[in-house]
A and B are shown apart, each in its own frame.
Chain A
């Protein structure tokens, strides 16, 4: 398959997944911002929740280039509608559709029509319309479009190289994004360890779990109170949890085994190493190292894997 085609397919999948995860990130922020902190536990100092999505996605300086004031409205405008922010939901859906158009022959017509209509609907949204129908309603729509696209892909596409590059893009992006969403909690953490287990702590963890569709699974598996240790286990180490880091690395590792040949053994090895760390990892180690530190390390590794994939498969030099 042409490198350019593989590149477009990979980024088409990443952009759709990024749009979905940006929606999830905003969703958890929105829920956390709604907590009546002062009433529940008066006298404590809180981080400004709307700064968190900017920090975890590394977009704070871009944000302040175009906006003076940190506010819910400005962050939502920036992360959802801003045509200058290449990671905004608007830009992600546009980029996914442009990629699909460039390689129409490599995907099914249902896939193209799905992305095309998602983009046409996105274009009809502005801030007032999102406000009027409710921010959560809009974020749900984004998630739904992403589910729909994955379903169409799964249901219509030949299991060829093109399919594997799409799958690779989806899971690289998802692994990265789940780690970032988990890290949100670090930035809004209570000031002292003594407060762990308080009411705010509970609300924050449950908001986070809900944002990655993990709340019900948590209840099912643990049927117990929410503790950071178990959340970390669920979203990092459990391979039966579809958005966990372990599950993402399972997909990535499997897919790379299919795509790699003798010339690309190194990529397979890097992915295998990262996969083994999750496969054989223990919750205790994560807690000992510190959740934030662990996640930062994972983000570095997966971004390194991403650039290996890039230079080997997608934009090789001669």
Chain B
């Protein structure tokens, strides 16, 4: 909200004025109202590792994160550029592998990666699009300077919170929206449906879309049900689908009904017990054969994990130059790859300054934040790194931007990140905004909801 000299940044001015004028009690009352409403509607998520069936609210902070128009234009261009390159990369490595032949990145990093799916080699997907929905995590370090932390290309979640947070803000503070030109995001479900229809197998005029969920016990079930309802498509579980003559059908009360596009929120491994994990009860036997036969589109495609893996991440800027012959607009965080001896040595010498992540980890599990860890924690982590250095990468901690956030002791700055959702199909598109996550603990850099993070509404200004 504030510039480095402590002054209020222009696009926050109107909000700051409003905040000054509004009595503290009124704001406290609005916060209670928000919490009650979230409970009643049941916008909850399950936390793994706690008692089975534990449902919690993600803490919601009523101070919005505001991005001004020019900054968003840059961000938008950068995100589109990056996701385009990532899709080209996926199409390439599952076909000619020209990027490997050109020696831009080492072949064994890609082909030896656990996320590389040999089954996808040589297979064409509609439009050459693999990552139809990408949730790219970015942080802002200085004015107009954005870094990408992670490209989530498998089954990125959280978009329902983006939509619900906006709904909540408009309900609590309608007067704020009347006064300022905040760009709308409510059309995301329509855009998503349009995007999914656009990647249906060729020759389908009226493609039928279904959302595949692992079921009511999944941590993101609320989001699955929410998106299916918003798009007006069926929310299906594996048992609701079957495959006949390589075509996918839903079991309906009017008999079998063809499905052309499956927006799947089930991981690759569990999609089809005949092709992948045979013990999976969540998938559909024969789905992969139908997919290979081109009778159904899966969004996202199988095997996208090879492009968002942390060991591939350092090469994304090179991909942009290679495929688009453009300079990357968004920065990568400098990354030490610990399978390299030099990087490993540097990392072990500077553990207290670095963030160390598991290459295949996600959700903030299995990471070390050097500056925040005790020396005992660092020593324990050091032993794990030395045992298997290829499993880890390390990055310097960035001076992340902060946003005022309500805490027990009043308004205080807390670190934030942003996950915009980039849709790729016939075109590459995104709604102006995303999910802003906030680290609620003082000084903490970890924003994951499973690690005590909260969320905010994100305002992209029209001018």
Chain A residues within 8 Å of B, Cβ to Cβ: 1-4, 6, 101-102, 104-105, 109, 113, 161, 165, 259, 261, 263, 313-314, 316, 318
User: Do the beta carbons of A105 and B240 come within 8 Å of each other?
Assistant: no
User: Do the beta carbons of B250 and A2 come within 8 Å of each other?
Assistant: yes
User: Do the beta carbons of B236 and A2 come within 8 Å of each other?
Assistant: yes
Residues of A within 8 A of B239 (CB): 4
User: Do the beta carbons of A4 and B253 come within 8 Å of each other?
Assistant: no
User: Do the beta carbons of B235 and A105 come within 8 Å of each other?
Assistant: yes
Residues of B within 8 A of A165 (CB): 253
User: Do the beta carbons of B40 and A3 come within 8 Å of each other?
Assistant: no
- Contact among A102, A263, A316 for B251, CB-based, below 8 A: A316
Among A313, A314, A318: residue with most chain B CB under 10 A:
A318
- Contact among B225, B250, B255 for A105, CB-based, below 8 A: B225
List CB contacts (< 8 Å) of B147-174 with chain A.
none
Nearest CB in chain B: distance from A283 CB, A: 37
CA distance A6 to B234 in the complex (A): 12
Known: A4-B239, A101-B216. A318 touches B225 (CB 8 A): no
Nearest CB in chain A: distance from B212 CB, A: 12
User: Do the beta carbons of A1 and B244 come within 8 Å of each other?
Assistant: no
Among B40, B41, B251: residue with most chain A CB under 10 A:
B251
B: interface residue count bin: 20 to 34
List CB contacts (< 8 Å) of B229-274 with chain A.
229, 234-237, 239-240, 242, 244, 250-256
CA distance A3 to B254 in the complex (A): 9
User: Do the beta carbons of A2 and B40 come within 8 Å of each other?
Assistant: no
CA distance A4 to B240 in the complex (A): 7
- Contact among B234, B240, B242 for A318, CB-based, below 8 A: B242
Residues of A within 8 A of B253 (CB): 1-3, 6, 161, 165, 259, 313-314
User: Do the beta carbons of A3 and B252 come within 8 Å of each other?
Assistant: yes
A1 (CB) vs chain B CBs: closest residue: B253
Please classify the interface of chain A as helix (H, G, I), strand (E, B), loop, or mixed, using the class held by over half of its residues: helix
Residues of A within 8 A of B244 (CB): 318
Nearest CB in chain B: distance from A13 CB, A: 15
A164 (CB) vs chain B CBs: closest residue: B253
Nearest CB in chain B: distance from A164 CB, A: 10
Chain B, residues 52-85, CB within 8 Å of chain A (1/0): the string is: 0000000000000000000000000000000000
CA distance A124 to B293 in the complex (A): 54
B228 at the interface (CB under 8 A from A): yes
List CB contacts (< 8 Å) of B386-435 with chain A.
none
B243 (CB) vs chain A CBs: closest residue: A318
User: Do the beta carbons of B252 and A109 come within 8 Å of each other?
Assistant: no
Known: A1-B252, A3-B252. A109 touches B225 (CB 8 A): no
Residues of A within 8 A of B229 (CB): 105
CA distance A58 to B72 in the complex (A): 68
CA distance A109 to B349 in the complex (A): 56
CA distance A60 to B239 in the complex (A): 35
Nearest CB in chain A: distance from B312 CB, A: 37
Nearest CB in chain A: distance from B186 CB, A: 19
User: Do the beta carbons of B255 and A263 come within 8 Å of each other?
Assistant: yes
- Contact among A3, A105, A161, A314 for B228, CB-based, below 8 A: A105
CA distance A181 to B165 in the complex (A): 52
A315 (CB) vs chain B CBs: closest residue: B251
User: Do the beta carbons of A2 and B242 come within 8 Å of each other?
Assistant: no
Known: A105-B225, A105-B229, A113-B40. A4 touches B254 (CB 8 A): no
User: Do the beta carbons of B225 and A104 come within 8 Å of each other?
Assistant: yes
CA distance A25 to B253 in the complex (A): 33
- Contact among A2, A101, A261 for B240, CB-based, below 8 A: A2
B41 (CB) vs chain A CBs: closest residue: A109
A-B contacts, 29 listed (Cβ < 8 Å)? A1-B254, A2-B234, A2-B240, A2-B250, A2-B251, A2-B252, A2-B253, A3-B251, A3-B253, A4-B239, A4-B240, A4-B251, A6-B253, A101-B216, A102-B216, A105-B229, A105-B235, A109-B41, A113-B40, A161-B253, A259-B253, A261-B254, A263-B255, A313-B253, A314-B253, A316-B251, A318-B244, A318-B251, A318-B256
Residues of B within 8 A of A105 (CB): 225, 228-229, 235
User: Do the beta carbons of B242 and A4 come within 8 Å of each other?
Assistant: no
List CB contacts (< 8 Å) of B436-463 with chain A.
none
Residues of B within 8 A of A102 (CB): 216
CA distance A314 to B235 in the complex (A): 16
